[in-house]
Structure 1
Amino acid sequence: MTDQAPAYVRRLGIWDAAAIVIGGVIGAGIFRSASTVAERTGSGWQLLLLWAIGGLLTLTGVLCYAELGARRPQAGGVYIYLREAFGQLPAFLFGWTMALINYPGSVAAVATTFADYFCVALGVSHDWVKPIAGGAIAFIVGVNIFGIRAGARMQNLFTVLKLGAIVLVVVAGLALARTHLGTALGDDIAHPVSPWSFLGALLPVLFTYGGFHYLNDLAGEVREPQRTLPRALALGMGTVVICYVLVNLAYLTGLGHAGLAASHAPAADLVRQWLGDRGATLIAIGIACSTFGYCSIAIAGGARVLQTMGADGMFFRGVGRIDPRTRAPQVALLVLGTWAILLAASGRFDQLLNYTTVGEWLSHAFGIATLFWYRRRFAQEPSPYRVPLYPFTPLLFVSMVLGVIIATTVSSFRDAGLSLLLIIVGVPVYYTWRAMANPAR
Structure 2
Amino acid sequence: MKEGMGTSKHSPRPVLRMVDAVVIIVGVVVGAGIFRTPSLVAASTGSWELFLTAWLLGGLVSLIGALCYAELTTTFPNTGGDYHFLMQAFGRRFAFLFAWARVSVIQTGSIALLAYIVGDYITPLYQLGTYSSAIYAALVVVILTGVNIVGAKFGTGAQKVLLAIQFTGLLLVVVVGFLVTPNPTALAELPTASDGMNNALGLAMVFVLLTFGGWNEAGYISAELRAGSRKMVRVLVISIFVITAIYLLINGAFLRVLGMDRMAASDAVGVDLMRVTLGEPGVFLIGLLVALAALTSVNATIFTGARTNYALGRDFKAFAWLGKWYDKTSSPIHALLAQGVVALALIGLGAMTRDGFQSMVDFTAPVFWFFFLAIGISLIVLRRKKPHAPRPFKVPLYPVTPIIFCGSCTYLLYSSLMYTGVGALVGVAVLLFGTLFFFIIR
Report the TM-score, using the length of structure 2 for normalisation.
0.89
Q: Determine helix, strand or coil for the equivalent of 1:190.
A: helix
Q: Distance in 1 between matches of 2:197 and 2:360?
A: 32
Amino acid of the structure 2 residue aligned with 1:247: I
Match of 2:272 among 260, 264, 269: 269
Q: Distance in 1 between matches of 2:404 and 2:270?
A: 32
Amino acid of the structure 1 residue aligned with 2:114: V
Superposition pairs of residues 34-73 of structure 1, within 5 angstroms: 34-73=38-77
Shift of the 273–23 alpha-carbon distance from structure 1 to 2, 3 Å rule, reads same
Shift of the 410–281 alpha-carbon distance from structure 1 to 2, 3 Å rule, reads closer
Matching residue of 2:369: 361
Deviation at 1:264, TM superposition (A): 1.3
Matching residue of 2:171: 167
Report the TM-score, using the length of structure 1 for normalisation.
0.89
Q: Determine helix, strand or coil for the equivalent of 2:196.
A: coil
Residue pair 2:38, 2:251 contacting (<8 A) in 1 also? yes
Matching residue of 2:187: none
> How many matched pairs?
423
Q: Is 1:400–2:408 an aligned residue pair?
A: yes
Superposition pairs of residues 14-413 of structure 1, within 5 angstroms: 14-120=18-124, 123-127=125-129, 128-176=132-180, 189-193=194-198, 197-313=200-316, 316-346=319-349, 347=351, 348=353, 350=357, 351-412=359-420
Deviation at 1:352, TM superposition (A): 4.5
Q: Determine helix, strand or coil for the equivalent of 2:241.
A: helix
Q: Determine helix, strand or coil for the equivalent of 2:396.
A: coil
Q: Distance in 1 between matches of 2:410 and 2:106?
A: 19
Amino acid of the structure 2 residue aligned with 1:231: R
Deviation at 1:222, TM superposition (A): 1.4
Q: Deviation per CA, 1:59-91, whole angstroms, max 9, x where unpaired?
A: 111111111111122111110000111111221
Q: Deviation per CA, 1:317-367, whole angstroms, max 9, x where unpaired?
A: 111111242231101101111221232234145424413212112211111
Amino acid of the structure 2 residue aligned with 1:388: P
Residue pair 2:59, 2:244 contacting (<8 A) in 1 also? yes
Amino acid of the structure 2 residue aligned with 1:54: G
Residue pair 1:118, 1:284 contacting (<8 A) in 2 also? yes
Matching residue of 2:188: none
More displaced, 252-261 or 131-140?
Answer: 131-140
Deviation at 1:418, TM superposition (A): 5.0
Amino acid of the structure 2 residue aligned with 1:69: T
Q: Distance in 2 between matches of 1:280 and 1:403?
A: 36
Q: Determine helix, strand or coil for the equivalent of 1:228.
A: helix
Shift of the 423–130 alpha-carbon distance from structure 1 to 2, 3 Å rule, reads closer
Residue pair 2:220, 2:304 contacting (<8 A) in 1 also? yes
Q: Distance in 2 between matches of 1:151 and 1:383?
A: 31
Q: Distance in 2 between matches of 1:410 and 1:377?
A: 34
Residue pair 2:367, 2:427 contacting (<8 A) in 1 also? yes
Residue pair 2:75, 2:389 contacting (<8 A) in 1 also? no
Q: Distance in 1 between matches of 2:113 and 2:155?
A: 20
Q: Distance in 1 between matches of 2:95 and 2:365?
A: 17
Deviation at 1:20, TM superposition (A): 0.8
Q: Distance in 1 between matches of 2:15 and 2:208?
A: 33
List runs of 5+ in structure 2 lacking aligned partners.
185-191
Shift of the 19–315 alpha-carbon distance from structure 1 to 2, 3 Å rule, reads farther
Kindly report the root-mean-square deviation, in angstroms, between the aligned alpha carbons of the 2 structures: 2.4
Residue pair 1:75, 1:217 contacting (<8 A) in 2 also? yes
Residue pair 1:50, 1:202 contacting (<8 A) in 2 also? yes
Residue pair 2:193, 2:265 contacting (<8 A) in 1 also? no
Deviation at 1:211, TM superposition (A): 0.8
Shift of the 284–178 alpha-carbon distance from structure 1 to 2, 3 Å rule, reads closer
Deviation at 1:220, TM superposition (A): 2.4
Amino acid of the structure 2 residue aligned with 1:193: N
Matching residue of 1:431: 439
Identity %: 30
Q: Distance in 1 between matches of 2:239 and 2:343?
A: 27
Amino acid of the structure 2 residue aligned with 1:42: G
Q: Deviation per CA, 1:198-222, whole angstroms, max 9, x where unpaired?
A: 3122211111111111121122221
Q: Distance in 1 between matches of 2:375 and 2:9?
A: 28
Shift of the 340–408 alpha-carbon distance from structure 1 to 2, 3 Å rule, reads closer
Q: Deviation per CA, 1:249-293, whole angstroms, max 9, x where unpaired?
A: 211111111111111111121123222222222222222221111
Q: Distance in 2 between matches of 1:179 and 1:429?
A: 59
Q: Distance in 2 between matches of 1:50 and 1:427?
A: 37
Deviation at 1:176, TM superposition (A): 4.7
Residue pair 1:40, 1:201 contacting (<8 A) in 2 also? yes
